[in-house]
Copies of this chain bind each other. A is one copy, B any other.
Amino acid sequence: MRIGELAEAAGTTARALRHYEQAGLISSERAANGYRVYEERTVVRVRNIRYLLAAGLTLDDVRVFLPCLDGDVAAAPPSAKGLRVARERLAVLDARIAAQTEARDRLEVALRERTGDRIRPVA
Contacts and interface: CB of A to CB of B under 8 A. Distances in A.
Copies in the complex: 2
Contacts of A100: 55-57, 93, 96-97, 100
Interface string A94-122: 10110111111011101101110111111
Interface in A29-79: 44, 47-48, 51-52, 54-57, 65, 68-69, 71-73, 75-79
A43 B101 CA distance: 24
Interface of A: 44, 47-48, 51-52, 54-57, 65, 68-69, 71-73, 75-83, 86-87, 89-90, 93-94, 96-97, 99-104, 106-108, 110-111, 113-115, 117-123
